[in-house]
Amino acid sequence: MAITAAMVKELRTKTGAGMMDCKKALTESNGDMEKAVDLLREHGLAAAAKKADRIAAEGLVYSYIHGNGRIGVLVEVNCETDFVAQTDNFKALCKDIAMQIAAAKPAYLKREEVPAEVLEHEKEVLRQQALNEGKPEKIVEKMIVGRIEKFYKENCLLDQEFIKDSDKTVQQVVTEAVAKIGEKIDIRRYTRYELGEGLEKRNDDFVSEVMAQAK
């Protein structure tokens, strides 16, 4: 059965689970809405979404320094209690997020933080690219929508592919952690430092280096 955007939206409204999780549940249940709800509940994702309105004011400011001292990350990850903040599971999540930032260099935390002028500039560049490729104007706008999604996935931390599992986004990893840990978790802010950033220097494959340390 074809899974429509309307079906995904309905399931998301019912459960509060993420869009990709809803689509996956509907696919697995062959479009059966009630079975999809049960699948999300079984995985703890519906319950995790219900924690979204709770206050998360505890947590950690986690620091990660790449092994050769060329990259440093500070990230604030919030949870609801200091007890959870000191658990191994929460610290492991903080480390994974910090390593993600070090390796993938996201420009923004989430898509809502992308400035309107940046988004409009990107759309115009993409529009001209599509026209230069000889695409008909009537489909250019549809192409731009798809390419802007790619922009979000490359530049927004929560939309990025998780470096340890490309089948998941960082947001999905956080959502799964909420279900496992039992508290609301937010990535609040981060700063990434790169030695000599802005100066002329050789290019390094930092993703490979960071992943090598993660093994």
Architecture of the domain spanning 115-154: Orthogonal Bundle (1.10)
Question: Can you give the pLDDT at residue 116?
Answer: 93
Of the candidates 74, 90, 75, 82, the one whose C-alpha atom is nearest the C-alpha of residue 57 is: 82
Six-digit token pair at 122?
């990107």
Q: What CATH number labels 56-110+156-214?
A: 3.30.479.20
- The predicted model scores a pTM of 0.68
For a pLDDT cut of 70, what percent of the chain falls above it?
87
Of the candidates 26, 98, 77, 62, the one whose C-alpha atom is nearest the C-alpha of residue 181 is: 77
Pick the CATH number of 5-51 from 3.30.565.10, 1.10.8.10, 3.30.70.920, 1.10.760.10: 1.10.8.10
Once rounded to an integer, what is the mean pLDDT over residues 198-214?
66
pLDDT digits (tens, 9 = 90+) for 167-185: 999 999 998 898 888 888 9
